[in-house]
Chains A and B, each alone.
With several copies, the nearest count.
Chain A
Amino acid sequence: MPEVTYREAVRDAMSTAMRRDDDVFIMGEDIAEMGGSMGVTQGMLQEFGPERVRNTPISEMAIVGAGIGAAMAGMRPIVEVMYQDFTTLAMEQIVNQAAKHRYMSGGQLKVPLTIRTQGGAGWSPGAQHAQQLEAWFLHVPGLKVVFPSTPADVRGLLWSSIYDDNTTIFFEHRTLYGIKGEVSEEIEPVELGKARVHREGEDVTVVATGRLVHESIAAAQEAEKDGISVEVLDPRTLLPLDEGAIIASVEKTNRCVVAHEAIVRMGFGAEVAALVQERAFDYLDAPVARVGARFCPLPFAPVMEEYVIPHAEDVLAAIKRTVGRNGG
């Protein structure tokens, strides 16, 4: 099986879809000659031309909205929002338009749009270039939300998002573009709404997303040295969420930690904690522990940024806290 980077896997899903399907095209800022600010779309202009690889002005509302209109007209556009922080400019189009047209029309319309965006800290971009805002979109019926952590998942899930008949907000993590992983020759679609267990374990379930999947696996390996057996589960799709997989795992381990780079307060972990205590209350031997960014904007100075965002040690500490606690 070939090894590709996360970045190449994203490109491969888009290019393969565009080769087989004229209705698929991409729009975004600096995605043409420059190949995107993260280099994801490199070479696509040369292969598909400027009509299907559309460089746009700095107009987040209009490019997301143009994607909505093209999707309503039967195409399957992919819009790139350069940084997740700029989705704040497109919230009206995403939340009031893309998510609701099907519903408001009583089922007449569908909006098969994929909005790719990226974010993530660890490189001192400052407060407006690395936020993790995925939690907001889980509060919006009509959207699907995907956040893959490996090359194979990002390729298979992007494929499924492109061919899903609903609007998908597709989150990529800035610091994962360079990681490598094996993928199949042919694209294997990954079904939206299915979690993946990266590592089986008996003592505690760590539900992790994005970069924290890798930090959690590292933490699990550390914990093993102390005889703690950790199951690491990546939901991959946050909406719809594979609640069954999470609950089944917690019913086995009786303990749960949830980890993401986003801020803890009102983050995805809050929903997981609420769900787990609702659905597995009698199984829980300890409270669900949350790991995430501290409650402040992202600071510039590396020493402060390092302190604000979570790392393997933070997951490990939460694992030990949770496992060490006496049953409730």
Chain B
Amino acid sequence: MAIAEQKGQSVSAETLKDFLREMLLIRRFEEMVEERFRAGELPGFLHVAIGQEAVAVGVCRALEDGDVIASTHRAHGHTLAKGTHPNEVMAELYGKLEGCSHGYGGSMHLYDVERGNLGANAVVGGGLPAIVGGALAFKLRGEPRVAVAFFGDGATNIGTFHESLNLAQLWNVPAVFVCENNHYAESTPSKQQLPIEDLSKRAEAYGMTAMTVDGQDVEAVYRTAQEALAHARGGSGPVFLLAETYRLTGHYVGDPQVYRPKEEVRELRQTQDPVEKLRARLELSDDEWTELDREATDIVEASVEFAKNGTDPQPEDALKNVYA
């Protein structure tokens, strides 16, 4: 489909290197999550975003202070990119009070309200209406803020998506709907769940501005996100931002992926790894790369230490925070 040709001045190598640092952090974090899960240390149900780091980083780096996001079951990358410290994210996965949701939420419910993360949702599409409402509040108060929803291709099939985008456009609220099309909903490939190939057509039902971008190219994502945010912030209405991306792992940690050929994943890892693409583009020397990698790995390893040394809630703490 048509990829939006890139607006705005190009991004400096320094900034790109900084993006790489962030993407690499997310990558190493997710790999560590897989490892710790296999080691039996992490409770619950985990979904990693390996392959989709450029979307999280490109969009979140384009945000301004005061902008808010809502995430999904695949939330680690968005949460880290929005500025929550890896320690707090990892501590949440270990169910500790130091976690970003204080052990109440878990992997699918990462929150960091102070940093504008209104929470990850384990119900597909469940977070979209609240983003419309948040954007409405900004509009009613005349605040120059934008509300951003992340969701997947599968989420475009649910009624909540339709009602939310329809209402956002009707009321012309400052919202950006970021669709990460990784071509699968769990085990279900696009052709089994989507009647159309170009998901940007979803926006036509609302007369909403749509922008499509290569989700493996962080600079393109960043620039398109800037454009979308400016559009929404400027009062021109919400934007449907479609990022074509790939899930380079299973749907959940431990997913044997019986539903797709091993070669598909192997090939995607070679051709569609956003971290490798950026590394190549920056022509980093092996030393530079090793240093960046070391940094990221150190931070992630420290986060595991932090989490393991965290405080377990008391059983009775379960009865707190039910009501304000």
Contact = CB atoms under 8 A, between A and B. Distances in A.
A295 B323 CA distance: 11
A57 B170 contact: yes
Interface string A20-38: 0000010001101111010
Interface stretch (B55-63, B105-113, B224-232, B287-295): B105-113
Contacts of B132: 62, 65-66, 69
Contacts of A261: none
Contacts of B185: 29-30, 57-58
B35 interface: no
The contact size tier of chain B is 35 or more
B187 A30 contact: yes
B157 interface: yes
A300 interface: yes
Report whether over half of chain B's contact residues are helix, strand or loop; otherwise say mixed: mixed
Contacts of B318: 294, 296, 299, 304-305, 307-308
B216 to A, nearest CB: 24
Interface stretch (B2-10, B25-33, B94-102, B268-276): B94-102
A74 interface: yes
A92 B126 contact: yes
A300 B44 contact: yes
Nearest to A309: B318
A141 interface: yes
Interface stretch (B11-19, B117-125, B297-305): B117-125
A97 B319 contact: no
Nearest to B321: A107
A125 B44 contact: yes
B319 A104 contact: no
Contact of A68 (B43, B96, B102, B129): B129
A73 interface: yes
Given A33-B187, A105-B105, A69 B130 contact: yes
A65 B160 contact: yes
B154 A58 contact: yes
A172 to B, nearest CB: 18
Contacts of B109: 104-105, 126-128, 300
A34 B130 CA distance: 27
Contacts of A86: 123
A310 interface: no
A124 B95 contact: yes
B2 to A, nearest CB: 24
A126 B108 contact: yes
Given A30-B186, A73-B134, A306-B315, A65 B164 contact: yes
B322 interface: yes
Contacts of A242: none
A327 interface: no
Contact of A62 (B112, B119, B167, B323): B167
A304 B313 contact: yes
A292 interface: no
Nearest to B127: A97
B88 to A, nearest CB: 11
Contact of A299 (B104, B133, B163, B171): B104
A159 B159 CA distance: 32
A35 B187 CA distance: 9
Interface in B144-177: 147, 154-155, 157-160, 163-164, 166-167, 170-171
B137 interface: yes
Given A125-B45, A294-B318, A75 B137 contact: yes
B309 interface: no
6 contacts: A34-B186, A69-B136, A101-B119, A165-B323, A166-B323, A294-B318
Interface of A: 25, 29-30, 32-35, 37, 51-52, 54-75, 77, 85-86, 89, 92-93, 96-97, 101-110, 112, 123-129, 141-142, 144, 165-166, 294-297, 299-308
Question: Top 5 A-B pairs ranked by shortest CB distance?
Answer: A65-B129, A69-B133, A106-B102, A300-B106, A69-B130
Given A58-B124, A304-B95, A304-B318, 15 more contacts: A34-B187, A57-B154, A58-B125, A59-B158, A61-B160, A61-B163, A65-B163, A66-B167, A92-B123, A106-B105, A126-B122, A166-B324, A295-B319, A300-B92, A300-B106
